A and B are shown apart, each in its own frame.
Chain A
Amino acid sequence: MVENRPLANILTHAVLILGVFFLCFPVWMALVASTHGPEAMARAPIPLWFGDQGLANYREILSGGVAHAGGVPVGKMMLNSLLMALGITFGKIAVSLLAAFAIVYFRFPFRMGFFWMIFVTLMLPVEVRILPTYDVMVKLGMLNTWSGLIVPLIASATATFLFRQFFLTIPDELVEAARIDRAGPMRFFWDILLPLSRTNIAAIFIILFIYGWNQYLWPLIITNDEDLYTVVMGISRMVNAGESRPVWHLIMATSVLAMLPPVLVVLAMQRLFVKGLVETEK
């Protein structure tokens, strides 16, 4: 700020408060709706303050689920989401670390070819090749399996680039020192490279966890077995329930639970989150 303008100060705060209101109000309403019974959801306007059915609603969905959407307990779907998100995250990090290590620290035929193959995957998001990918999954017999849910998503161009970028900034002297001490490549990877990459791994872990948790299209086409439903995808079955009217208080309770883990991760690790977000997009 280069000059003192009281009017501009007020305007600044007004803009920010409006922005915060716009971003927070929808979730506020979801929270409020999740604490009311069905009768409050039957007539407009719906209440703006919490009701007393919260505990009952959350207990109902966590154990029983929403009846007309198959009655899959939300607790079960949350667990599935967690497993899928963690599987994708750890898979992506492991696979990308190894690939970036190979591309930066070794000289071998087709090195650049491999690099470009990884790069091109950026241009092929699953949304643009839905049906053929489904077809491949059918041929491999991977529908309705955990590996089908996780493995196809663990290739990651962005994570590979991030680690490659970071490895390039590590001084060459470390490799020389390691070689003088007769450490092999894998020893160097475990004892020097991995410890140095800790912050970067943590930062990208957050971004990838959010990515994995929020997957929608992939579980939608790969699973029709209720034991594998994830929560983000399960909600759409509650909203578009066909004949019966959506039970909004339970849907909102499920939405609140479904957004809780990734939002908590962002809030709790804000610094790492910002670092991860800004660096993966370079």
Chain B
Amino acid sequence: MQKRVTFNTKTLPYLLVGPQIAVTLVFFFWPSWQALESALYIEDAFGLSRDFVGLRNFRDLLNDDVYLASFGVSFFFGIAVTFLTMALALALASAANRVLRAATAYRTMLIWPYAVAPALAGVIWYFLMNPSLGIASYWLDAVGVDWNHYVNGDQALLLVIIAASWKQISYNFLFFLAGLQSIPQSLIEAAAIDRAGPMRRFWTIIFPLLTPTTFFLLVVNLVYAFFDTFSLIHATTQGGPANATSTLVVKVYQTGFVGQDYGSSAAQSVILMAIVIAMTFVQFRYIDRRVNY
């Protein structure tokens, strides 16, 4: 936790942590406190006066079908992105771990999408799937699928799921690859001598030993799908059609900046904070466990 040998200067350490703490206080704690506070008020349309209403904002949200629907969209979106990304990344990492020829070339070609902004990933897929000129929708049309994400909510949701997963595969790939490479070769060889085939070895040895990586990525991907994909959705479908792609964060933004409903937006922020805190808690409990491995 700390060095045995330290410097004993009285004021210097405060000056050193000062900038970080100042930024944290002003731009993290103050707004968060404001969110907590204004979640308990209802403000009039001009922001001139506000009334204390207790938990009414929360009660209204829980009775609001649109908000509850965006909960559903968020969870479906989160789970779909997480599953899709991890399944594809694990397949790719297993293959890359096995291959000897051109291993570096493959790796290079698989990791660069990490650097693409989610918003750009969204825009490019939006273009590929564009109903009137996108190449992918043209191919889909050839096999009899009528693709139009401007009208069809399910297809719009599928579109953002694919785009979000596309961007996140690289990250998962790198971590799975690192996890696979840390598995002792002797275990695999022992199993091979006992005549366990590749599939058997994967499910009984490799996959269980990857559990720490898998669990870590699970949390990271859920956080990514919940929060970082705002830009992807905002730059493309903007939550539509008919709120089909309106996740919780999109909803906070729309309530706050488009609808100008301060109290409700703050209440939604508080709910989101609770979700992040729960996720971080889960993640750190698991990290504690991993230390004891």
Contact = CB atoms under 8 A, between A and B. Distances in A.
Contacts of A154: 23
A106 B14 CA distance: 10
B117 interface: yes
A12 B95 contact: yes
A107 B12 CA distance: 11
B54 interface: no
Interface residues of A, number: 106
B41 interface: no
B266 A107 contact: no
Contacts of B189: 2
Interface stretch (A60-68, A71-79, A125-133, A196-204): A125-133
A1 B96 CA distance: 11
Contacts of B53: none
Contacts of B1: 168
Interface in B100-153: 100, 106, 108-121, 123-128, 130, 132-135, 137-138
B276 interface: yes
Counting contact residues on chain B (CB < 8 A from A), the size range is 35 or more
A267 B108 contact: yes
Interface in B9-68: 9-10, 12-14, 16-17, 19-21, 23-32, 34-35, 38
A135 B34 contact: yes
A56 interface: no
A266 to B, nearest CB: 4
Nearest to A24: B109
22 contacts: A13-B99, A16-B106, A41-B133, A45-B138, A95-B20, A98-B16, A107-B8, A114-B17, A117-B21, A121-B24, A127-B249, A129-B273, A132-B31, A156-B20, A176-B5, A213-B117, A216-B117, A216-B119, A252-B127, A255-B123, A263-B116, A273-B111
Q: 6 nearest interchain CB pairs? A: A216-B231, A102-B16, A214-B117, A131-B256, A262-B115, A236-B235
